[in-house]
Chains A and B, each alone.
Chain A
Amino acid sequence: MENLIRTARNEMWYLLFMLPGICLFVMAVIIPLIMGARYSFTNWDGVSNSFGNVGFDNYVAAFHDPDFWGALWHTFKYALILTVLVNVLSLLLALVLDSFLPLRNLFRTIFFLPSVISIVLAGFVWSYNYSTGIPNLLSHFGIDASSPLGNPDTALFGLILIALWQGVGSPMIIYIAGLQGIPGELSESARIDGAGSWKTFLHVTLPLLAPSVTINLLLVLTGSLKVFDLVFVTTGGGPGFATDVMSTYIYRTSFSSFKGGYGMALSMMFFLILVIVTIVQMSISRRREVEM
């Protein structure tokens, strides 16, 4: 009997330990998610206290909404290009910083520095550099330039460049950590067997780096699919709707156009797309890791 009480008391402590975490999680994630799912079937304007059920109308409307498809297309274009660029650049930086380069720590600090600045600041600084700083520099070489953010055809690439500048820091660190986990003898012996640098990299380093590649692709891809701040503070989705991404479109729909129910339906669809992308990406990467 006494044993039983002691066990119960012990279990109670562990349950008590869990309680604050559960409460916070329920408040910040579970309740909003359930509320959101509920609102997505209503015509709620996002402000008033009353609303009516509309069934799947919001979802049907989204399928016929060209702005939704436009925003989705921009989101994926942005995310895919950025994921490739960030990973190529950060891997290159990591490879060189892990080798013979002098002043490695200084370079690492410099390439990481932009990541710690808030996106509001980065957006502001870059908008100015795009519109005045860089054209001013280029005019010394006789080149006439204007801000890429002002032109619908190049605005998205202008944003990608800012995100690249801000985004290489962490993946670079992850690649350096991955490279340091690879025993040096392996590339050494490949070299003795007559493999050149490129072949050694392709057949020895890269396969062993596969876990870092997986995690970096996943982090950058899911992170960039959710991009909000950069677009919101730099272009606001413009010019026209050239840089409107899912999250800015959802924000505008919910808060500026007062279509809360519709905004929530868009959010739910976006969430579903993200889950699918994550699962697909993870299963592809895992399979590649095993093969190699």
Chain B
Amino acid sequence: MKSNKAAVLAVFSLLALVFLFPLYVALLMSLKTAKQTFDSFYALPSSLNFANFAHAWETSKFPLAIMNSLIITVLSVALIVLVSALAGYAIARRNKPFYNILFMLFLSGMMIPFQVTMLPLYKLGKTLHMLDTHWGIILIYGGFGIQTGVLFYTAFIRQISREIEEAAKIDGCTTPGIFIRIIIPLLKPVTATVIVLNALYIWNDFLLPLLYLQDNHYRTIPLQQYFFFGQYSSDLNLAFAYAVMGMIPVIVFFLIMQRFIVKGIAAGAVKG
């Protein structure tokens, strides 16, 4: 049994190295010059040099792209949380056909692949002057995100006992009052789930920004990266420095939020 354990550990360590290998190469490239890469591909650079990073930072509008990604992600996620919590509360507490039909409609919306609504969304965005704006793409992300958001919130609120709400109602509390004072404080765990899942998706999304944010003042990180790679494909060390810079925020977010991400995925599987 003991040797078995060692063998499994060895296999897993090897597998972990395979998983990390592409990232190792990316990091290596970002730290070396073209000449160092040519001399010895896998060796660590003899001296740490961050010139690639500095250069990439300057040439690429990196701070602008980060700001765009942050604004779009934070506001979209806030919108999704607010709107889905409200709708989820109404659906969970009014067990009437009207609300249930809407609930089913939200759920069936999840089956529609984005590609199907891609061209009409572009046309709609053009008509309503939503292209190359922050608010346009935020509203669309809101419309996508509430579909799973409502599902999470409805399932969660249905499990909350109604008795406190009844008591508050007798004391003269209105529906919004109940929602703000009693329900919102109880929603923390499910809100964490909705936040991390949507934040990861929106931060990394490529296709919607490709359609909606063509002006480079509004480009998000993945989109800016795509164009940057195209432009600097001859200077790979520079392109990789940009790639690594783009990875850092999301990896840091992942490491901090890891517990919630794991919980969120598990909760999503059980309820979805």
A binds B: yes
Q: Which residue of B lies closest to A261 (CB)?
A: B119
Contact A136 B41 (CB under 8 A): yes
Residue count of chain A within 8 Å CB distance of chain B: 85
Q: Taking the nearest CB of chain B, how far is it from the CB of A94, in angstroms?
A: 12
Q: Which residue of A lies closest to B18 (CB)?
A: A165
Q: How many A-B residue pairs have CB under 8 A?
A: 241
Contact A118 B102 (CB under 8 A): no
Contact A125 B142 (CB under 8 A): no
Q: Which residue of B lies closest to A29 (CB)?
A: B109
Q: Which residues of A89-148 are within 8 A (CB) of B?
A: 96, 100-103, 107-114, 116-122, 124-126, 128-129, 132-133, 136-137
Indicate if B62 sits at the interface (CB-CB under 8 A). no
- A116-B200, A251-B115 known; A110 and B19 CB under 8 Å? yes
Q: Report chain A residues within 8 Å CB of B9.
A: 101-103
Q: Which residue of B lies closest to A116 (CB)?
A: B254
Provide the A227-248 mask, 1 if CB < 8 A to any CB of B, else 0: 0110011000000000000110
Contact A21 B87 (CB under 8 A): yes
Q: Which residues of B217-263 are within 8 A (CB) of A?
A: 221-223, 225-226, 229, 236, 239-240, 243, 246-247, 250-251, 253-255, 258, 261-262
The residue from A11, A29, A133 contacting B117, defined by CB atoms under 8 A apart: A29
The residue from A24, A111, A125 contacting B22, defined by CB atoms under 8 A apart: A125
Indicate if A274 sits at the interface (CB-CB under 8 A). yes
**Helix, strand, loop or mixed for chain A's interface?**
helix
Contact A101 B8 (CB under 8 A): yes
Among the 9-residue stretches A32-40, A80-88, A150-158, the one with 4 or more Cβ atoms under 8 Å from chain B is A32-40
Contact A25 B105 (CB under 8 A): yes
Q: Which residues of B1-49 are within 8 A (CB) of A?
A: 5, 8-9, 12, 15-16, 19-23, 25-26, 29, 41-42
Among the 9-residue stretches B53-61, B144-152, B187-195, the one with 4 or more Cβ atoms under 8 Å from chain A is B144-152
Contact B26 A254 (CB under 8 A): no
Indicate if B140 sits at the interface (CB-CB under 8 A). yes
Indicate if A27 sits at the interface (CB-CB under 8 A). yes
The residue from A24, A122, A125, A250 contacting B25, defined by CB atoms under 8 A apart: A125
Q: Taking the nearest CB of chain B, how far is it from the CB of A172, in angstroms?
A: 9
Contact A110 B16 (CB under 8 A): yes
How far is A165 from B123 in the complex, measured between Cα atoms in Å?
35
How far is A254 from B90 in the complex, measured between Cα atoms in Å?
39
The residue from B29, B121, B222 contacting A118, defined by CB atoms under 8 A apart: B222
Q: Report chain A residues within 8 Å CB of B121.
A: 28, 32
Q: Taking the nearest CB of chain B, how far is it from the CB of A57, in angstroms?
A: 18
Q: Taking the nearest CB of chain B, how far is it from the CB of A28, in angstroms?
A: 2
Q: Which residue of B lies closest to A21 (CB)?
A: B87
Indicate if A215 sits at the interface (CB-CB under 8 A). yes
Indicate if A275 sits at the interface (CB-CB under 8 A). yes
Indicate if B97 sits at the interface (CB-CB under 8 A). no
Q: Report chain A residues within 8 Å CB of B41.
A: 132-133, 136
Contact B266 A254 (CB under 8 A): no
- A25-B147, A109-B258 known; A125 and B115 CB under 8 Å? no
By a beta-carbon cutoff of 8 Å, the part of chain B in contact with chain A is 5, 8-9, 12, 15-16, 19-23, 25-26, 29, 41-42, 79, 82-84, 86-87, 89-91, 93-94, 99, 102, 105-106, 109, 111-121, 123-124, 139-140, 142-144, 146-147, 150, 174-176, 179, 200, 203-204, 206-207, 221-223, 225-226, 229, 236, 239-240, 243, 246-247, 250-251, 253-255, 258, 261-262, 265-266, 269-270, 272
By a beta-carbon cutoff of 8 Å, the part of chain A in contact with chain B is 10-11, 13-15, 17-18, 20-22, 24-25, 27-29, 31-33, 35-36, 39, 46, 96, 100-103, 107-114, 116-122, 124-126, 128-129, 132-133, 136-137, 165, 170, 173-174, 176-178, 212, 215-216, 219, 222, 225-226, 228-229, 232-233, 246-247, 250-251, 254-255, 260, 263-264, 267-268, 270-271, 274-275, 278
A-B contact pairs, 17 of them (CB 8 A): A10-B175, A18-B99, A20-B86, A29-B143, A36-B117, A36-B119, A39-B120, A102-B9, A110-B20, A114-B23, A120-B225, A121-B222, A128-B29, A136-B42, A173-B266, A174-B265, A254-B119
